[in-house]
Amino acid sequence: MDFNKFKEINDQKMNYREMEDATVVSNYRNVGCGDGYRIYLKINDQNVISDASYTTTGCGFGITALAMVTELVKNKSVDEAKLITAEDVEKLFEFPERRKNYPESGVAALKLALSDFENGKGIPKEKRITKAKALSVLAEKGSLKNEDLSSIILENEIFENVDFSGANLHNAYLQNTKMAGANFEGANLRAAFLNNADLRNTNFRNSDLRWAKLAGAKIEGADFTGALYDIGTRLDQNQIHIFKDMIKAGKDLYLESETGAVS
């Protein structure tokens, strides 16, 4: 593997950005590792992709794969983009043998975005909640209570002691965010990414944390009473004690002898 190129792509976060004027915004979940990918495509009237970008909660290999995928599709027609393969991605960057699943997942995320474009799916424009909009609401109301913040990107921000109770934060990107003392009571955090977030003394009572990721999060003093979890809720080994205060939900339930939730 070309480590220098790998480092350069990750340091520069090549093509990593939200796109305000995207034609289609599509969410993809890498079921292998649980990471979330979001593809943004700007497509003109001739069905040519004039711009492409992505965001992800994933690791350096995910970033590299998505960087290559979004670079490949620029100035291609939608039909041409459909023909892109993992092998095409590896012509730009060759992945180690044990990481071949990343270009495959990157291409799968692209093809889902192309399908969403053709079928009028993806995240509707009215549902594309930006950080700027959330901060504006917070400044006006003093809270984000009951707000629809689905799929919002708030990573690396400060929201200490903010009231998010009853808010819809489904698939929200909240990793590395400082939210000590925040109130998420009754909030929908299903499939949200809370990796490495500061959640000390945070209220998660009766919230929905199914398929959420909290690996690396600081949870000292947090209250998880009555919160929902399922087979996809990912925690560190030293965090699994919170399950005793939570409620198992979904068709796949944890067995006492298994540690399938631990990531």
- The set of residues, in sequence order, having a beta carbon less than 8 Å from that of 124 and lying 6+ positions away, is none
Find, among 54, 51, 47, the residue nearest to 73 by Cα: 51
Would you state the pLDDT for residue 220? 97
**CATH class of the domain defined by 129-263:** mainly beta
> pTM for the complete prediction?
0.69
Q: Looking at the predicted structure, is the pLDDT value of residue 252 above 90?
A: no
Q: Given pLDDT bands bounded at 50, 70 and 90, which one contains residue 13? A: confident
Q: How far apart are CA 93 and CA 254, in angstroms?
A: 39
**Topology of the domain comprising 3-118:** Sufe protein. Chain: A (3.90.1010)
Q: How far apart are CA 39 and CA 16, in angstroms?
A: 10
- Domain ranges for the chain: 3-118, 129-263
Q: How far apart are CA 183 and CA 95, in angstroms?
A: 42
Residue 115 burial (CB < 10 Å; 0-12/13-18/19+)? middle
Would you state the pLDDT for residue 251? 53
Q: How far apart are CA 255 and CA 257, in angstroms?
A: 5
Q: Looking at the predicted structure, is the pLDDT value of residue 169 above 50?
A: yes
Question: Buried b vs exposed e over 93-110: b needs ≥16 C-beta within 10 Å?
Answer: bebeeebebbbbbbbbbb
Q: Which of 73-77, 215-219, 223-227, 248-252 has the lowest mean pLDDT?
A: 248-252
As a whole-number percent, the residues of the chain with pLDDT over 90 amount to 71
Question: Buried b vs exposed e over 224-247: b needs ≥16 C-beta within 10 Å?
Answer: beebbbbbbbbbeeebeebbeebe
- Does residue 49 contact residue 84 with C-beta atoms inside 8 Å? no
- The set of residues, in sequence order, having a beta carbon less than 8 Å from that of 39 and lying 6+ positions away, is 24, 25, 26, 28, 52, 53, 54, 66, 69, 70, 109, 110, 112, 113
Structure tokens at 142: 């003093």
The dihedral region occupied by 67, where left means phi > 0, alpha psi between -120 and 50, and beta the remainder, is alpha
Tens digits of residue pLDDT in 70-127: 999 999 999 999 999 999 999 999 999 989 999 999 999 999 999 999 999 998 887 7
Instruction: Supply the mean pLDDT for the chain.
Output: 90
Q: How far apart are CA 242 and CA 238, in angstroms?
A: 9
